[in-house]
Amino acid sequence: MLGYLSLFSFSFLAATILPFSSEVILATLLATENYNRFLLLFFASFGNILGSSFNWVLGVWSLKFQNKSWFPFKKKQIDNASNWFNKYGKWSLLFAWVPVIGDPLTYIAGTMKIKFIVFLVLVSIGKIARYLFISFLI
């Protein structure tokens, strides 16, 4: 059970701005063949989707503080990211799994107030597909 919980935790953290790689842990656990493949995919996907949802909530919530001097993002940065998001649209959330751009994408989706159900469906499709691909490689 510890393996599944560890994978869930790392997958959650990997979906935030923390530099974790859940794919390596998933691949390692799959390669040992000591774990149920379906449960590994479930815990990896669920943790990663939940982490992205956390980013979305942060995006919605943090807008209240964007005019504060301590706020980590400048208005220009938010505007640039919002313009990029508007250009490529909500469908870009299918790429929320991509390293470096995926985490900010989920945060910006929150600041843009994308409907959560739309966010959840698109992010889930991309993240589950990525883990399935890794599973087929192992």
- Give start and end residues of each alpha helix (H) in 65-115: 75-88, 102-111
**Mean pLDDT, the chain, integer:** 90
Query: What's the whole-number mean pLDDT along residues 45-58?
Result: 96
Interval 9-20: pLDDT, tens: 999 999 987 778
Output the pTM of the full model: 0.88
Residue 85 has a pLDDT of 81
Q: Using CA atoms, how far apart are residues 8 and 45, in angstroms rounded to an integer?
A: 8
Specify the pLDDT at position 48.
97
- For 62-102, write each residue's pLDDT tens digit: 888 888 887 777 778 777 777 878 888 899 999 999 887 88
Distance CA 108, CA 89 (A): 11
Confidence at residue 124, expressed as pLDDT on a 0 to 100 scale: 98
